A and B are shown apart, each in its own frame.
Chain A
Amino acid sequence: NAGVTQTPKFRVLKTGQSMTLLCAQDMNHEYMYWYRQDPGMGLRLIHYSVGEGTTAKGEVPDGYNVSRLKKQNFLLGLESAAPSQTSVYFCASSDPGTGGTEAFFGQGTRLTVV
């Protein structure tokens, strides 16, 4: 049982390039989240989804887009990367049937924008 898997694990982008981060979960969870973590800042919520076909903005959504076309996948897109988006990105999922408070996280994607 893989849990939450993020692809890729590392990436270096040039300013202005675009990319998509993929998150896949095999636990049939309805809720999925994308966070970014910067040194000394804790985790900040970028976007989240409460089910297939739905997305919503979190604390820091600017510069990112997301899609949830399939229940098991949650994609995070950067249309035009900026150095300020250099960060570690974490995806998570949770099950509202058990309260939604226990989230399972992926191993993270370390993104550097130069």
Chain B
Amino acid sequence: LAKTTQPISMDSYEGQEVNITCSHNNIATNDYITWYQQFPSQGPRFIIQGYKTKVTNEVASLFIPADRKSSTLSLPRVSLSDTAVYYCLVVSYGNNRLAFGKGNQVVVIP
């Protein structure tokens, strides 16, 4: 399983755009980059997934450079309710194991 590295924590002010980075230097050709969000006292929730370039949905955008050794999750105009732990995973399509690291604790400040 490709290992990922994320900052442990970060703070952001309400209304700002938040960019959360993830390094995955050993990503394989058939690996996808997947992000999850976990609120306190809840299970993680799938946010977005991508293979290369940019993916956008109603929650976030995911930017993946050409070498795919890193990725950036972008949350537009965060609110206090976006305070959560964000996990970056590298997963092979059809893989039967999802390995979560420690994630990145994002705290949104009023």
Interface residues of A (CB under 8 A from B): 4, 31, 33, 35, 40-45, 48, 50, 56, 58-59, 90, 92, 94, 96, 99-108
Residue of A at shortest CB range from B91? A101
Residue of A at shortest CB range from B102? A42
Q: How many residues of B contact A (CB 8 A)?
A: 24
Partner of A99, one of B41, B42, B94, B99: B94
Partner of A100, one of B41, B44, B93: B93
Which residues of chain B have C-beta atoms less than 8 A from A94's C-beta? 98
CB distance from A17 to the nearest CB of B (A): 25
C-alpha spacing A90/B103, complex, angstroms: 16
Partner of A43, one of B42, B44, B46, B96: B44
C-alpha spacing A90/B101, complex, angstroms: 15
Partner of A108, one of B43, B87, B94, B98: B43
C-alpha spacing A51/B88, complex, angstroms: 26
C-alpha spacing A79/B100, complex, angstroms: 26
Residue of A at shortest CB range from B45? A105
CB distance from A105 to the nearest CB of B (A): 3
CB distance from B68 to the nearest CB of A (A): 15
CB distance from A74 to the nearest CB of B (A): 13
Closest 4 pairs (CB-CB, A-B): A105-B43, A43-B100, A42-B102, A102-B46
Partner of A102, one of B49, B94, B97: B49
Tell whether, in the assembled complex, residue A107 and residue B32 are in contact, meaning their CB atoms are under 8 Å apart.
Answer: no
- Beyond contacts A41-B102, A56-B96, A106-B43: 19 other A-B pairs, Cβ-Cβ < 8 A, are A31-B96, A40-B102, A42-B100, A42-B101, A43-B87, A45-B100, A48-B96, A50-B96, A90-B44, A92-B98, A94-B98, A96-B96, A99-B94, A100-B93, A100-B96, A101-B98, A102-B34, A105-B45, A107-B42
The 0/1 profile, CB within 8 Å of A marked 1, for residues 9-48 of chain B is 0000000000000000000000010101000011111100
Partner of B98, one of A4, A40, A50, A103: A103
A-B contact pairs, 21 of them (CB 8 A): A33-B98, A35-B100, A42-B87, A42-B101, A42-B102, A43-B44, A45-B99, A48-B96, A50-B96, A90-B44, A92-B44, A94-B98, A96-B94, A99-B91, A100-B94, A101-B46, A101-B49, A103-B46, A103-B98, A105-B45, A108-B43
